[in-house]
A and B are shown apart, each in its own frame.
Chain A
Amino acid sequence: MSARIEARLWWAQRLTAALLAFCVAVHLATIVYAVRGGLTAAEVLARTRGSVPWAAFYALFVLAASVHGAIGLRTIAGEWLAWRGRSADGAAALIALGIAALGARAIAAVVL
């Protein structure tokens, strides 16, 4: 990859890290505050169903997590497994899409 793309990935990871610091804090605080009958999808959905602000918050969270995690795993693959190049880039992209898809399901359950 070119220096430009690598530098952009670095910035993407930095910016998503900042977003995640905020999102994870809100996420954990909400769990501690709101969960009463155990952490289940049914209870969460009972609370959040139809809420556009929560859907928007988690859309941001999912996006940041998928980008951040995939870039980090790509770096770990390069440094610890010496797995670099197009196959590693492709695997990282698949992981990003996979995390985003799993998260999109949860968001869809909130607003659809």
Chain B
Amino acid sequence: MALTLRVSAWRGGADGRFQEYEVPRRESQTVLDVVTYIQRRLDPTLAYRFACRVGMCGSCAMTVNGKPRWTCRTHVDKVAKDGRLEVAPLANMPVVKDLVADMREFFDKWAKARGQFVPSATRADDLAAVKPASAARREADAGIECIGCGVCYAACDVVRWNPAYLGPAALNRAWTLVSDARDAGQPARLRAVAGDAGCHSCHTMMSCTELCPKKLSPTRSIAGLKRATVGVAFGDGES
């Protein structure tokens, strides 16, 4: 293991540039450890975002050596074999400053994809019995652990090419709700996720699935939406 790591970190806004730092190598060092070292020891003006440090909150994702990663659980060993590390803000989002990307549109698209649960029962009703082994429940389970880190969105070429595209995370969220037997919002949701901004734009390139730190498959969820939206193409009702 080399004694130091040469780190290029993005500084400034969209028109910024990379700045070089030397950071001591440590055993089991994560990329977030490296960024934190720079901010605490070398340059307190470096802006970055993190919260939980244990892979739960989805705050710390950055572009690491060209690929979006959750930095708190990405070991330097895995991504910087030649002792060089390049960290930049997530792609496909505006840069706020340095390593901080503006995730507003990313989350707004969850709302556009009707990612809100729409209750079909009132508090007077009994609890819904959803069998854990039912097909729909298993589909929902497969996608439900998303932490909203934005890695899939930053990895997606269709997001880059088509600014209206809702993106893998929002569509994955919609699919977990389409698979939720208790939800009453399906017609509006299926209309929201169909078409050019929705599931039909996905080219199944699977960058989202390859890079999702939670090992989810948004591609699979989007394929589910393509099946579920047949009614939008050929059924009755407003489009």
Query: Which A positions have Cβ atoms within 8 angstroms of B?
Result: 1-11, 78-80
Contact check, A4 vs B161: say whether CB atoms are below 8 A apart: no
**Which chain B residues lie closer than 8 Å to A1 at the CB level?**
195-196
Give which listed residue, B161, B191, B239, contacts A5 with CB less than 8 A: B239
Tally inter-chain residue pairs, CB-CB below 8 A.
46
Q: How far does the alpha carbon of A72 sit from the alpha carbon of B229 in the complex, in Å? A: 20
Total count of chain B residues near the partner, CB < 8 A: 18
Contact check, B162 vs A6: say whether CB atoms are below 8 A apart: no
Contact check, A7 vs B229: say whether CB atoms are below 8 A apart: yes
Contact check, A3 vs B234: say whether CB atoms are below 8 A apart: no
- Chain B: CB-nearest residue to A14: B226
Contact check, B196 vs A79: say whether CB atoms are below 8 A apart: no
**Which chain A residues lie closer than 8 Å to B194 at the CB level?**
3-4, 6-7
Q: How far does the alpha carbon of A11 sit from the alpha carbon of B196 in the complex, in Å? A: 13
Contact check, A7 vs B200: say whether CB atoms are below 8 A apart: yes
Query: Which B positions have Cβ atoms within 8 angstroms of A?
Result: 158, 161-162, 191-192, 194-198, 200, 226, 229-230, 232-234, 239
Q: How far does the alpha carbon of A78 sit from the alpha carbon of B200 in the complex, in Å? A: 14
- Chain B: CB-nearest residue to A82: B161
A66 CB to closest chain B CB (Å) equals 20
Contact check, B162 vs A4: say whether CB atoms are below 8 A apart: no
Contact check, A7 vs B232: say whether CB atoms are below 8 A apart: yes
Contact check, A3 vs B158: say whether CB atoms are below 8 A apart: no
Give which listed residue, A3, A5, A8, contacts B198 with CB less than 8 A: A3
Contact check, B233 vs A11: say whether CB atoms are below 8 A apart: yes
Give which listed residue, B158, B162, B233, contacts A7 with CB less than 8 A: B233
Contact check, A4 vs B239: say whether CB atoms are below 8 A apart: yes
Q: A1-B196, A4-B195, A5-B239 are in contact. Are A10 and B233 (CB under 8 A)?
A: yes
Contact check, B161 vs A3: say whether CB atoms are below 8 A apart: no
- Chain A: CB-nearest residue to B202: A10
Q: How far does the alpha carbon of A7 sit from the alpha carbon of B200 in the complex, in Å? A: 6
